[in-house]
Structure formats: structure tokens, C-alpha cells
Amino acid sequence: MSDKRAKHTSKSKYTLDRQIPGAFEGETVTRRAFMTGTAHTAGAIAATAFTLPALGFAVGPIFKSTPHRWESVGPVDSFSDTNYIPVVMTVTPNIGEAGKTTVYVRKFNPEIDTDPYDRETPYIAISSRCAHLGCPVRWVDAAERFICPCHGGVYDLLGRRVGGPPVRPLDRFYTRVSGEDVEVGPRFSVNSELRRFSPRDPGQPLDGVGQYLYPSRPGAQKL
Amino acid sequence: MPKLPKLPAPPLPAALQEAPPRPSEGKGPSGPLEDAKQAGITVVDWVDERTSLSGATRWLLFRKVPKGTNWFYTLGSATMFAFLSQAVTGVFLAMYYRPDPAGGAYESIRYVTNDVFLGQFVRGMHKWGSSVMVILVFLHMGRTFFFGAYKYPRELNWVIGVVLLILTMVMSFTGYLLPFDQRAYWATIVGVNINGTGPLIGPYLSDFLRGGSEFGATTLSRFYAIHMLLVPGLLAALIGAHLYLVAKLGTSAPPWQKVEKRSELREAEV
Amino acid sequence: MNQREKEEYLREYAILKTQGKPFWPYAVAKDSAMACVVMAVIIAMSLVLGAELGPKANPTTTTYVPRPEWYFFFLFEVLRVIKPPSLVPLATIGVPTLCMILLFLLPFYDRGPERRPERRPIATATGIAVIAAMAFLTYQGANAGSPTTIEMSTPSTVTHTGGSSLAEYEAGKKVVAQSGCLACHKIGENGNSGPGPDLSHVGARLYRQAIARTLVNPTAPMPSFKNLPPQKFTAIVNFLSQLK
């Protein structure tokens, strides 16, 4: 025992510290430990080599920003300032009917649209997607309400929530007049004070901490 | 008078004796049926000699199930059977389906339903099979819950079972969009938006599902890939793990089953 | 379960297992019979109910009433009844996630050795309560009407009178349904309970003139209906005053 001890002391202090049985002079990592490490590392590299590109491929579209599109929806005199006219416009090109949506358009009315944020748009264009979970809302003229058929959301003339579960007012679209036509552009979301935010998905509140809990995404930016 | 022992019959001369059967001839019936049976046994033996699968098969099939197991214990295998039915009918539907939101998807389903031989029948089996599978999953889970079968030592199998339940619901949700009719479209919009209400990661999750910030050209093919490649693969793998654990730990006994401790067993324990 | 209980369970289970029958062919026979039943049900449903294909997806619709597949009705109903917007993330993500976590961890917080349902009153009662709640929500979700149709039986007083009274009643019902009243009011089993009051028996509370006055000069946030065409307005008043 004692001569074994003496043999150990002759080795480098690193080898001794490792307490590897039967280690030769200067050895700090055993062959087995080295091979185990190699197996883990090489395996991990090989697995990452196909996982990461696949994941990037799948996640990529999230970070792709889409160009803003403007679309003519009709001549300026076809819209009144008291009632909404539903118009159909394309949100996603190249997929035909599946990429279209209905927008309710009304002329800017200084008596109703008193909010400072509204004054920049010559026309008020309100999305037909319920701010609760995205069902198609309908404009009921008699009641002057937008009504959602799914879970009972109700909005007033300005698209603000009156009843039901919607978490924010109805989304809106930018509008501009180009020549004789009204053009509808990208969508934006508003909070209960009609302040503008980059477009969110339905069900994502924008009041209080809502705008931080549901961040805007690169694929959907306001103008 | 004491009974005399019966004398053995005198041996026949060797010439009169029937020749013993040769090993190659066999004694049983012969004919094409017998040859086929022999051929089958030879093939099985050949495979077994090289794989040793017979041991695993014996372990799986000739294990004992405890006393008192009843019809409630068939719900799990019934669920698996519904899954197999879904897999097979799904493969044949995939032969006709085109994940094209611009009209091809709806058109291909309309074609399957109206024009393909047995198309409506197979699509009906797939459609209603999903309902049956969901019901069976819940019944199977109810049985496990009320019989206390999730307790030691089967905790892990319960966890795998819950994952299977979630994956089944994911299957029914992603399958929903594929016919691309009104119900399919709006249910998917609502479903994706439900995912989007999760704080912080919700918006990104729904972007991932849609393949962008709006319902677009790749949304349908994404759902199609998830529905027929990703989730079924996971389901099959986890069903394998679920079954392995059932065979390993044994089918649980009904909780009411009384143990009749026979004396010799008691001694054997001590 | 402590170590002793675990060992006791394993011992008793081993005895039960030795007393049992082999999986093949006894259990497999039952499983196969059940598989036949399952396939018979699937095939029968496919033959009888067929595979209907609805109208083509149309994102521009403003009249379609989306409804989920029946096994998501319970979730649909939860989303419908949870009204305060601040609770929406709870209904969509919070409650389902919580339920899933509770389901996942069941074997880790319910660790008692007892397996018989009648001796696990809390677990059994919870299980039955969950099943009952889901059945109730599914039933409610299946019967949720659209906010633009009213489904209710005509009161016997109206059917007895018949003639013009019945026609007025039916016409009024249609106008009320299409004017969006159900968005805020409940009429019988139809519509939302709130923010407006329940109108199921409004005719017993208010006279015709009072109803008409309220429609013209309502309290906020209800909009005025004075711009309706006169015959539609009369139809609404007729219908509501007959709700007793």
C-alpha cells in the first residue's frame, strides 16, 4: 500500500487529482471518458444538423414581414357617413377566395368620429373579424351594432365593444383616396381608446399590460 | 382363483412387422394442405432463428391477465383499433387529397365524395371514425380513472395516455380544416386564435400554425403535414410505448377483485 | 403509497395474475369482439349519416354561423358563457391548460393505496362531476342558437286567437331576430343574457306604449330604433307585448 502511494506521488499533480485508477503519467482524461464525450458530441451535432434547419424552415414565416397592399374598393361617392357598406378585399394574394375578407367602410363623420386618432383617415374601414376569436361579425343596421354569431360579441358604430367577451374593439384598416377611388390598405388594431397598434390576432387585449403580453410580430406591422 | 397376469402378445416376425415411419415421411395426413403448413412452419422457423422474435411474442401473448378482467378492459384495444381504421382510411383519402386553398382542396374532397367508387363511404368512415375514437379515448380514460388503474406502478402509463389524449384532440382539430368547407375554415380560425391568446408565446404559436400572420397559401399544407405525418408518427410511437408498459406491468386487476390467499401461496411468500 | 403498501400491492397483484387466464386467446377474443363492434358502429354511421360536405370556405361571409364539431362543444360553450373580456385568456388558455396539468399529474398527487371507487369518494365525486359538467356544457353548446334566429314555441294565447294575431307574432319574431336584439337580450332560450334585461316576459311588465317609447328613447348603451320602417317597428312592439 505504501509503495503504491509512493508511485502515485511521482505522477503529475493533475493526474493524481483525477484519481483515475491505473492512469499513466500525465493522463487527465481516460480513453473511455474521451470516447463517451465524443459519442455525445458527435451525436448531438448530427441531430442538430437536421433539427435546426427543419425548425428554421418551419418557424421562418413568423419573421418574414409582408409587404403592405392597397386595394381600391369603389368610388368615393358610394359610401355614406352614417352607415357601413360591406366591401370585399384581398388580404392574402394568390389563394383566390380563401385570401379575401369583408371590410365595412364608412365615410369619416366628424360628429361621431371625434377621436383624434380617427381624423387621419378619410374613411373608416372596420374589419369583419370579431376581436374575440375571429368569427365573422355582421353589421345590423337597425340596431347600429356589429354582432358576432359565435360567442355573442356586440360592438357599437365605432367598433367598440358593447357586450359579450371581445377583448378590444374591432380591427380597422388604413384608408386613402386615390383619384376617384377609396383605397383600403393594411390592417391595424386599436385599444379601447381607439389608439392604434400593429395588427394583433383576435383574443389579444391591448389595454394595460395587454400590448406587452401579446407582442407585435414581424409578419404583421402597422403602416 | 387369483387373476393371472395377462401375457404379452407374442412378437411378430420381423418380416410381418410394419416398417417404422421414416422421419421425412411423417405419420400424419399428407397432401397439399399439410405441405403448406410445413412450409409455413419452415418460414416462421427461419425468421425466428434469425430474430428470436418468438420469445417476445410469447412474452406478449401468453402473459396472464389477472382474474376478473371484464369488458371494460377492451376499451383500450378498441381505441387502438379505431386508430388503425383511421390510419388506413386516411392513407386512401390522402391519395386523392390536394392541400390547395385556392379551390383544389374543396374540389378534391367534393370529387372523393361524389365521384370516387366507395369515396363517400371511406370518407364517412374517416369522419365518423374520429368521433368514435375520441369517445373511446374518453371511455378508456374514465375506466382507468374510476378503477384507480393509474396508481403505482402504472403512473408513467397514465402520463403517456394523457399525451395520447391530447394528440388525438390535435388530430381531430387539424383534420377539421382539410375539407375546406365553411365549418372547417371558421373552426380553424377560432382554434388558431385560441392558441393566440396564450400570453407572450401565443402570437408566435398562431403564426407558426398559419405559416404567417394571415391565413395563407401554406396554412392548409401545414395542417395537412401535421395531420398526416407529424402527429400520427408520434401517436404510433406512443401507442407502442403504452402497450409495452401494459405488457410489462400487466393489465390492472379490477379494484373489487378479492385475493384468495391459499395456504401454499402464503407459505411460499414467507 | 409507502414501501410496504407498494410491496403488498405487487404481491396481491402477482397472486391475481397467477389465478388469471392467458392473454391469448381469452383477452384477445374479447378485444377482437369489441373491435368488431367498433367497426360495425363506424360503418353504420358512415352508411347512415354519410359524409356531408358543407358549402366551400368563404372568408368574406357575414351571415355564416360557425359551430365546432360536437366534441369541442364544451369548450365552445365555456367561451360563450364567460363574458367579461378580462377573463377571456382564462377561458381559452387558462382553464384548459390547468385541466390538462391536473390530468397529467393525477398519479402524483393522488398517491393513496386505495383503488376501489367507492372508497375514494373525493376522486370518484370529482370524476362524476367533471363528466356531468362536460355533458351539460356539450348539451348547452349543441343547442346554442344563432343571434339572428329565435326558436321558441308560440304561446297558446296567440295560437288560440289565430289569424292576424298569429301572423303579427311571427312577423315580429322575425324582425326582432334580424334587428340584433338577441345580441344583448335574452328571449326564452335565445340570445345573450346581458347587458340588456331579459325580455322573455317583457309583455307582462310593460304596456305596448311603454315598449314603443323605450325603443325610440332607450337608455344607453341601447341604440334607438326610431329609424326603422313603421311596419317593422309595429311588428317589434306587437311581438314584444305578446311575450307574457
Alpha-carbon distance of A67 to A74, in angstroms, equals 22
Same domain, A155 and A91: yes
Confidence of residue C109 (pLDDT cuts 50, 70, 90): very high
Last residue of a domain, one of C112, C144, C176: C144
pLDDT in tens, C119-146: 999 999 999 999 999 999 999 888 877 7
**Confidence at C117, pLDDT banded by 50, 70, 90:** very high
C195 → closest Cβ in A132, A139, A162? A162
For residues B167 and B154, give the distance between their C-alpha atoms in angstroms, rounded to a whole number.
20
pLDDT of residue A10: 53
ipTM of the complex: 0.85
A205 and A138 in a single domain? The answer is: yes
Same domain, A55 and A81: no
The CATH number assigned to the domain holding A158 equals 2.102.10.10
Contact B269 C88 (CB under 8 A): no
Residue A199 contacts B, CB cutoff 8 Å: yes
> In the prediction, which pLDDT does B126 show?
97
Which of A1-5, A90-94, A183-187 shows the highest mean pLDDT? A183-187
Pick the last residue of a domain from A35, A62, A89. A62
CATH of the domain at C234: 1.10.760.10
Cα–Cα distance, A118 to A110 (Å, whole number): 9
The enclosing domain of B124 has a CATH number of 1.20.810.10
Residue A130 sits in the same domain as residue A151: yes
Report the share of chain B in percent with pLDDT over 90: 76
A191 and A121 together in one domain: yes
Look at chain C and report how many structural domains it folds into.
Answer: 3
Contacts of B105 (CB under 8 A, 6+ apart): B97, B98, B99, B178, B179, B180, B220
Last residue of a domain, one of A37, A62, A87: A62
A75 plus A58 within the same structural domain: no
Answer whether residue A223 is part of any domain.
no
Predicted confidence band of residue C232 (pLDDT cuts 50, 70, 90): confident
Res A63: pLDDT? 86
Domain extent, residue B135, equals 76-249
State mean pLDDT over C46-61. Answer: 92
The 10s digit of each residue's pLDDT in A127-162 is 999 999 999 998 988 788 898 888 888 898 899 988
The answer to whether residue A220 sits within a structural domain is no
A87 Cβ partners below 8 Å, 6+ apart?
A73, A74, A102, A103, A104, A105, A184
pLDDT digits (tens, 9 = 90+) for A178-211: 999 999 999 999 999 889 999 999 999 999 898 8
Q: Scanning every residue of chain A, which has its alpha carbon at the shortest distance from the alpha carbon of B106? A: A98
Indicate the pLDDT class of residue C46, thresholds 50, 70 and 90.
very high
Is B270 a residue whose pLDDT tops 50? Answer: no
Judge if A24 and A123 occupy the same domain.
no
Selected residue with higher pLDDT from A80 and C242: A80
- Asked if residue B260 is part of any domain, the answer here is no
User: A40 and A144, same structural domain?
Assistant: no
Confidence of residue B264 (pLDDT cuts 50, 70, 90): low
CA angle, corner C153, sides to C152 and C159, nearest 5?
140
Largest CA distance in chain A: 107
- Examine residue A31 and state whether it is found in any structural domain, yes or no: yes
What's the domain range around A22?
2-62
Could you give the C-alpha distances from A49 to A52, A54, A105, in angstroms and in order?
6, 9, 51
Shared domain for C233 and C167, answered yes or no, is: yes
CB contact under 8 A, C6 and B256: no
Each residue of C85-98: b (16+ CB within 10 Å) or e? Answer: beebbbbbbeeeee
pLDDT mean across residues, chain C: 87
Which residue has better confidence, B26 or A52? A52
| Structural domain count of chain A | 2
The partner residue sitting opposite A217, judged by closest CB among B197, B199, B213, is B213
- Are residue C102 and residue C169 in the same domain, yes or no? no
Mutate to test the interface with B, among A59, A62, A100 (most CBs of B within 10 A): A62
Write down the pLDDT at residue A21: 76
| Residue C17 resides in a domain | yes
Alpha-carbon distance A202 to B189, whole Å? 10
- Which pLDDT does position A2 carry in this prediction? 47
Number of domains in chain B: 1
Write down the pLDDT at residue A1.
Answer: 44
C-alpha grid cell, residue C69: 364539431
Length of chain A: 223
Q: Where among C114, C144, C174 does a domain terminate?
A: C144
Q: With respect to residue B185, please indicate whether it lies within any of the assigned structural domains.
A: yes
Q: Are residues A152 and A189 in the same domain?
A: yes
Å from B93 to nearest chain A CA?
A: 22
Q: pLDDT value at position B2?
A: 65
Do both C161 and C189 map to the same domain?
yes
**Environment class of B37 (CB within 10 Å of its CB; exposed 0-12, middle 13-18, buried 19+):** exposed
Domain that holds residue C127: 67-144
Q: Is residue A145 part of a domain?
A: yes
Please indicate, yes or no, whether residues A17 and A89 belong to a single structural domain of this protein.
Answer: no
Please check whether residues A31 and A102 belong to one and the same domain. no
pLDDT digits (tens, 9 = 90+) for A105-117: 999 988 888 877 7
* C13 and C84 co-located in one domain: no
Cβ distance A137 to C62 less than 8 Å, yes or no, reads yes
The predicted structure's pLDDT at residue A64? 84
Instruction: For residue B212, tell me if it sits in a domain.
Output: yes
Task: Round to whole Å and give the CA distance between C212 and C220.
Answer: 16
- C59, part of any domain: no
CA distances from C89 to A132, A218, B199, C84, C86 (A): 10, 23, 8, 10, 7
Residue B12 lies in a domain: no
Average the pLDDT over B84-92 and give the result: 97
Q: Do C69 and B172 touch (CB under 8 A)?
A: yes
Cβ contacts of C47 on chain B, cutoff 8 Å: 121, 124
What mean pLDDT comes out for the span A47-63? 91
The alpha carbon of residue B127 and the mean position of all alpha carbons in its chain are separated, in whole angstroms, by 19
C196 vs A17, more confident: C196
Grid cell in block for residue C129: 362531476
pLDDT tens-digit readout, B24-82: 665 566 788 989 999 999 999 999 999 999 999 999 999 999 988 899 999 999 999 99
Residue A194: CB atoms within 10 A of its CB come to: 18
Q: Residue C238 has what pLDDT?
A: 85
Diameter of chain C measured on Cα atoms = 85
Q: Are residues A165 and A195 in the same domain?
A: yes
Helix (H, G, I), strand (E, B) or coil at B137: helix
pLDDT digits (tens, 9 = 90+) for A13-31: 666 677 777 777 777 788 8
Strand partners, A104: A86, A126
Q: How far apart (Å, rounded) are the C-alpha atoms in residues C223 and C181?
A: 10
